[in-house]
Amino acid sequence: MSLSPLGASRSLAAVFTPIKSGGLVDEVCRRIELAVESGLLASGQRLPNEVELAAALGVSAVTAREALSQLRGQGLIRTVRGRSGGSFVTENSFPSAAKARDTLRALTRLQITDRGLHLQAIAVACAGVAARRSSADDIAALQSYIRPETLPGEVATPFAWRLCAAEFLLEIASVARSARLARELLHLQADVGTLTLLPFEDPEFREKTAILGEAITAAIADHDSKAAEERTKELTTATTAWLLAEHAGGHH
């Protein structure tokens, strides 16, 4: 079963990874809420069933059932009975820039910076290794994630840009062929996914990420680890800087 509104998304896979600690029901709810808010789960999309959800998150079926019940009470999902039934994201649930800004404001500048540095460390490490291990097929895959695909005359949404950027970083981890780095990057993507919807509302930021994506891809193709690391550092720094400026009221 595909969990992604845009096909098999590794970004969404980060949402459905085992829960390590904390209140289990609340954490299951938080994961689903995060996926809806960041647009990884689309309005009207079917969720995994109780058994699938419990297995993916490493919780009991009772916990999964209680979390789904809680989400129904919040109006985030609806449940349909019968053979073609299941739990679905309600039709009026969309990624919300307003809620993403509320999430951003609730963080301190130090927390934003810390998340950015963690993401940067992992992404830069992936890029350096990817440059040493890349093949021609890998470069073609990376190029497919630099800009969102659109129909003639169509303008890609901020969510499409954000998801494309997330998949680009995950593809770098794939090229690095390090399962450990890829898992860490998946978890970080889930953690910052909602926040990173905001910068992609900015056309200038979108174009900057595309240009850096092209430079990173070229460096990986040339097996230039230093350049790949430097450009990836620029890419992650740009995201953190944008969020810090927004937090301070610098973007309008």
Give, as one character, the DSSP assignment of residue 22: S
Q: What is the CATH number of the domain that holds 15?
A: 1.10.10.10
Name the region of 79 (left: φ>0; alpha: ψ -120 to 50; beta: rest): beta
Same domain, 135 and 171: yes
Would residue 191 count as lying in a domain?
yes
Same domain, 59 and 129: no
- Give CA–CA dist 131/178, Å, rounded: 13
Q: Residue 86 has what pLDDT?
A: 86
Q: What is the pLDDT of residue 10?
A: 64
Query: Do 126 and 235 share a structural domain?
Result: yes
**Choice among 2-16, 117-131, 213-227 with the minimum mean pLDDT:** 2-16
Residue 37 inside a domain? The answer is: yes
Collapse the DSSP code of 80 into the 3-class scheme (helix H, G, I; strand E, B; otherwise coil) and give the result: strand
- Please tell me whether residues 64 and 173 are part of one structural domain: no
The number of distinct structural domains making up the chain is 2
* Final residue belonging to a domain, choices 66, 89, 112: 89
Residue type, 217: T
pLDDT band per the 50, 70, 90 thresholds, residue 3? very low
DSSP alpha helices (H): ranges in the chain? 10-13, 24-37, 50-57, 61-73, 97-106, 109-133, 136-143, 158-176, 179-192, 203-221, 225-247
Alpha helices in 14-108 (DSSP H): 24-37, 50-57, 61-73, 97-106
Nearest in space to 121 (alpha carbons), one of 179, 171, 169:
169
Q: What's the average model confidence in pLDDT over 29-49?
A: 80
Instruction: Check pLDDT > 90 for residue 203.
Output: yes
Question: Which of 67, 89, 111 is the last residue in one of the domains?
Answer: 89
**Pair (213, 139) in one structural domain:** yes
- Nearest Cα to 119, choosing from 181, 32, 46, 57? 181
Identify whether residues 168 and 228 lie together within a single domain. yes
Find the range with the poorest average confidence among 18-27, 28-37, 172-181, 236-245. 18-27
Torsion angles phi and psi, residue 60, rounded to 5 = -80, 160
pTM over 0.85: no
CA distances from 179 to 171, 175, 176, 185 (A): 12, 10, 9, 10
Please give the average per-residue pLDDT across 131-138, as a whole number: 94
In this structure, are 74 and 186 located in the same domain? Answer: no
Does 113 map to a domain?
yes
Those residues whose C-beta lies under 8 Å from the C-beta of residue 226, and which sit 6 or more positions away, are 128
For residues 64 and 11, what is the distance between their CA atoms, to the nearest angstrom?
Answer: 21
Domain membership flag for residue 199: yes
Same domain, 77 and 179: no
Select from 46, 72, 89 the last residue of a domain: 89
In this structure, what CATH number is given to the domain that contains residue 141? 1.20.120.530
Write the single-letter amino acid at 70: Q
Q: What is the mean pLDDT of the chain?
A: 85
**68, two tokens:** 């789904």
Looking at the structure, tell me whether residues 138 and 159 fall in a common domain: yes
Q: Are residues 67 and 114 in the same domain?
A: no
Task: Say which residue, 116 or 5, is predicted with more confidence.
Answer: 116
Q: Are 107 and 219 in a shared domain?
A: yes
Is residue 2, in this structure, part of any structural domain at all?
A: no
Range of the domain at 18: 10-89
Domain identity same for 53 and 75: yes
Chain centroid to CA 33: 13
Statement: residue 64 has pLDDT above 60: yes
Beta carbons of 105 and 63 less than 8 angstroms apart: no
Q: Is residue 3 part of a domain?
A: no
